[in-house]
Structure 1
Amino acid sequence: MNKQVLKKRIAVADKEIPADLVIKNGRIVDVFNNEIFKADIAITDGTIVGIGEFEGKEILDAKGRYVSPSFIDGHVHIESSMLIPSEFAKVTVPHGVTTVITDPHEIANVSGKKGIEFMLANAEGISQEILFMMPSCVPATPFENNGATLTAEDLTPYFQHPKVLGLAEVMDYPTLRSGDNSIVDKIAANTGGYTDGHLAGLNTHAVNVYRAAGIKTDHECTTSEEAKERLQRGMYVMIREGSASRDLQRLINIVTPYNARRCLFCTDDKHIDTLVNEGSIDHNVRKAIKLGLDPITALQMATLNAAECYGLTRKGAIAPDFDADFLLLDDLETLKISEVYKGGKLVAKEGTYLGDESVANKHFSKLTGSVNIPELTEKDIKIPLTQSQAKVMEIVPNSIRTNKLMADVDMVNGFFIPSSDKDFLKIAVVERHKCTGNIGLGIIKGLGLNAGAIATTIAHDSHNIVAAGANDRDIIQAIQELKHIQGGLAVVVDGKVAASIPLQVGGLMSSQPYDVVYKQVHQLHEVMAELGFKGDFDPFLTLAFMTLPVIPTLKLTDLGLFDVNKGSHVNIHDE
């Protein structure tokens, strides 16, 4: 710390000179003692330097409102919002989130180091602190084709970057368990940093393996039993509430006064419309309180716990030597956020972003043109069947997991025929990075489309094209529309494009302002409603996770159907 800055802080704390800013008449949320108390808060150079009675050059009258630390999202893929980082901040800061821990895993699987460099550059000069974990799994698995490869040698320089905290979610358990150098070298290169886990559906033996590797977090718990097993073995448990994965209601009962400090919140993957309409980490806090969790404990999980998990020693509390990142809350039940401050500066008020918008270089040109596929016809997506009994991927609403069914499906002349009445639709995954021509085909149940087809280039984690629909003509047209707009989302009905959203930045993010993207998404959902879609889940985000071969049970990659429990591709007929 600069010597003069240090002397100034000491002088303000000692009341020799006035603070830059003093908050008066506020009720401080004490996340250390789990209580509320009244006192002045002295702030100098963006740092809290005293709690008590102080005078300042500027006075902020809290008018009896609660002064809480601002929120930290413990794990988020910004790309899933369909926004670039600078636009993502404009949506999430008004919801009280001034710090996020992000994993640029999605754009890295499309564009490698170019994608990481873009995310780092675009996150500079904005009123949200975006901290990074370097993607550990690029490619995510050997069971699909993606757009790039990142080795330990590629990642090592980034570990010295001031905004990089460590290594992101390790999701390839078989590779980790075998001690393969492809992952061990990355963990070893992350000297002094933090390493995140991804233990979806794994048992306690796997937890031991992850902990032995120095991995201390998991955001993939979906049951109380899983959460407790991880807590018992010294892990931090991130309780996730995203757009597709909503785990909070199932997990919140695991939080007790004894283990709460090892629990925090994250969103993981959340679309722009859900962020705007529902919120970010504030939604997690609000929902936890509604389900009976003590309000201050819920706030602690969203602030101090997340900070301590990642060694952010100057974040997450209202106390001396902590960053002046705080919220003014009208109450602790509805959690209405009236004002948001970052470093002592007002950055959002009554839901409106007021922060710095200066972003020097957006680097869009390096990440466009990412959809490379051959010309396709309906013949390319025919699914041959030797019998009517076939494997079916069944969607679990508001979950990224699927069920594996053996069901009687319709067939004509030895080929599968989609049936909207039975809700058996066709799903296709088309490799889009290197124009290989690979197409994986399957049958999906639970998507709820009565007609037409939908397609997207957001398809975790390799982000090939995934399309599903009630007939081959519309599926092919939807795929071709994504080629035309170079990535995004599309809805096709009767051979015509009913709606589409261009996502030119790696096929994942829009170059447009967030409000434009929000309107586009709203229009897309209106079209879906007109088609008769009545599901209580986001069909596009749900579709995006049907390609993820590290989440149980049956998934689809560009190489075919994949049984996650078996760890291999499978035939459509085999049990």
Structure 2
Amino acid sequence: MKTLLPIFGALACCLPAAAETTHRVKIINAAVVMPSKVVENATILIENGRIAAVGTDLGEAFEGAEIIDAAGRYAAPGFIDVHCHGGGGHDFSDGTVEAMLGAAEMHAQHGTTLIYPTTASCSNATLFSLFDTYRKAVKKNTRGAAFGGIHIEGGYLSMEMKGGQDPRYIKNPTPEDYNAILAKGGDLIARWTFAPELPGSDALIGELARRGIQMSMGHTSALYDEAVSAYDAGMSSITHFYSMCSGVTRRNALRYAGVIEAGYLLDGLYVETIGDGIHLPEPLLRLIWKVKGPDRIVGITDAMRGAGMPDGPTVLGSIDDGVPAIIEDGVAKLPDRSSFAGSVCTTDRVVRSYVTKTGASLPEAVQVVTLSPARLMHIDDRKGSVTPGKDADIVLFDKDINITLTMIGGKVVYRK
């Protein structure tokens, strides 16, 4: 095979001379991770932040372009994390631009090019402060993972499935409450996690569906039929599958299936999986992989501020009003060890877990943090694969998934 994409390769060689404002980059000697295979000794041509061509016979194209020599390393689409609370000692709910930028920068160093800052259950005042901070941080974010929109996790959650969420702020959805939130930050909210069995959830689903906000069922005690109804109404994913999700229960001698069983039986329902190898041990990862496959698995970090930090005390949620936690054994826990309190995972670790624990091929493992989340968020027309026309969000890594370069929109934001 001389070219991976012969049509685009041929066009690239015939492009007109670049104008003075044109920015061209040429990644050479790359093992390009495509959705179904890895293509060795390939070249990626980038023009003005977008992928112009990918192929194995593009040596003469883009003369004078900035050259990045991959030196045989893998070149994959930038990783997308739809569920992340923070990292590097920062939480997105801390209320400062510095915290948001610091967390985004740390995750970019691990291959994340698009991140959805995620809240925990908190006061509306904390949430509104996050909205204000987000608007400021977006304009200054030049070295970190790009912001894709806010993911609200809570406070419309099941109290018995609260996990590490602060019980002070767990409540049922009411139009007065969520309309106030939407009025303040509706233009920023990309996705919302809540328990579909709560009174008032049906109306909330309708409102969020009308606004095009992606909805995920999580921290939920819903029975199977309730989960199916929520899916039919527009909820398209399950937040951190198995963690704080109802399974088979017995009521008055009868067994009832729950959200976990809905995740397996509803083919179109996406499941988020925390890829640290601890929240989901190897047998569960293998089972999820066997049933759902890469097309309906979205790998997430669920990282809190402790990601990238040493073991010891930390805080889940905002620094001023969060829940005490501790980092040990590669995960965050509540101090009494009764529950996990988020993870300290990064997206490169997610890919590594799927390769080593499920038998997934490298393209399949990469898909769970690229094309699958892009499809979930309906941005796969511009994100999620190394395809001509899409944004030049690209990461380079070695055989052990150690990130050596992160590029967002054709610009290098991290180089090891």
Q: If the length of structure 1 is used for normalisation, what is the TM-score?
A: 0.51
1:120 pairs with one of 113, 116, 135: 135
Aligned length: 330
**Alignment partners' CA distance in 2, 1:108 and 1:121:** 21
Matches within 5 A, 1:52-67: 52=55, 53=58, 54-56=61-63, 57-67=65-75
Say whether residues 1:301 and 2:368 are aligned partners.
Answer: yes
18, 43, 48: which one aligns with 1:45: 48
Alpha carbons of structure 1 residues 274 and 25: separation in structure 2 relative to 1, 3 Å? closer
Match of 2:231 among 211, 227, 232: 211
Give the match for residue 253 of structure 2: none
Q: Secondary structure at the match of 1:135?
A: strand
SS at match of 2:108: helix
- In structure 2, the partner of 1:23 is 27
The equivalent of 2:96 in structure 1 is none
Superposition map of 1:419-498 within 5 A: none
1: CA distance, partners of 2:242 / 2:156: 25
Match 1:191 to one of 196, 208, 211: 211
Q: Closer, same or farther in 2 for the Cα pair 1:257/1:231, shift >3 Å?
A: closer
Query: Where do 1:214-363 residues align within 5 Å?
Result: 214-222=234-242, 229-233=262-266, 234-241=268-275, 246-247=279-280, 249-253=282-286, 254-256=288-290, 259-274=293-308, 279-291=345-357, 292-312=359-379, 313-331=381-399, 334-350=400-416
Letter aligned with residue 34 of structure 1? K
State how far apart, in whole Å, the 2-side matches of 1:27 and 1:315 are.
19
- 1:273 positional shift: 4.7
Match of 1:386 in 2: none
Alignment of 1:552-571 (within 5 A): none
How much does 1:218 deviate? 0.7
1:252 to partner: Cα distance: 1.9
| 1:160 partnered with 2:187 | yes
Does the residue aligned with 2:130 lie in a helix, a strand or coil?
A: helix
Amino acid at match of 1:24: I
> In structure 1, how many angstroms separate the alpha carbons of the residues matched to 2:281 and 2:89?
20
Structure 2 letter corresponding to 1:319: T
State the alpha-carbon separation in 1 of the partners of residues 361 and 221 from structure 2. Answer: 29
1:232 partner amino acid: L
Deviation at 1:267, TM superposition (A): 1.7
Query: In the TM superposition, what whole-angstrom CA distance separates every residue of 1:218-276 from its partner, at most 9, and x where no partner exists?
Result: 12322999656314322111111469x71253432121497321111112243425567
Greater mean alpha carbon deviation, residues 127-136 or residues 260-269: 127-136
Aligned pairs for 1:522-537 within 5 A: none
Q: Distance in 2 between matches of 1:275 and 1:172?
A: 35
- Distance in 2 separating the partners of 1:74 and 1:280: 12
Task: Go from structure 1 to structure 2 and tell me whether the alpha carbon gap of 1:40 and 1:171 turns closer, same or farther (over 3 Å shift).
Answer: same
1:72 partner amino acid = I
Distance in structure 1 (CA, Å) of the matches to 2:123 and 2:207:
15
* Counterparts in 2 of 1:134 and 1:348: CA distance versus 1, 3 Å: closer
Q: Secondary structure at the match of 2:109?
A: helix
The Cα of 1:22 is off from its aligned counterpart by 1.1
CA distance in 2, matches of 1:15, 1:135: 44
Counterpart contact for 2:117–2:147, Cα < 8 Å: yes
Q: Deviations over 1:98-121 (max 9, x none)?
A: 111233344554524233222332
Structure 1 unaligned regions, length at least 5: 1-9, 351-575
Partner Cα distance (1:205, 1:92) in 2: 38
Structure with the greater alpha carbon radius of gyration: 1
**Partner residue of 2:81?**
73
TM-score of the superposition, structure 2-length normalised?
A: 0.69
- The offset of 1:212, in angstroms, is 2.5
Q: Once the 2 structures are TM-superposed, how far is the Cα of residue 348 of structure 1 from its aligned partner?
A: 1.2
| Residue pair 1:77, 1:106 contacting (<8 A) in 2 also | no
Alpha-carbon spacing, 1:112–1:325, altered in 2? closer, same or farther (3 Å): closer
CA contact (8 A) 1:227 1:237 kept: no
> Aligned in 2, Cα 1:345/1:156: closer, same or farther, shift over 3 Å?
same
> Which structure has the higher relative contact order (CA within 8 Å, separation 6+)?
2
Alpha-carbon distance in structure 2 between the residues aligned to 1:58 and 1:269: 34
SS of structure 1 residue aligned to 2:148: strand
- Secondary structure, counterpart of 2:388 in structure 1: coil
**Distance in 1 between residues matched to 2:361 and 2:217, nearest whole Å:** 28
* Partner AA of 2:214 in structure 1: Y
SS at match of 2:149: strand
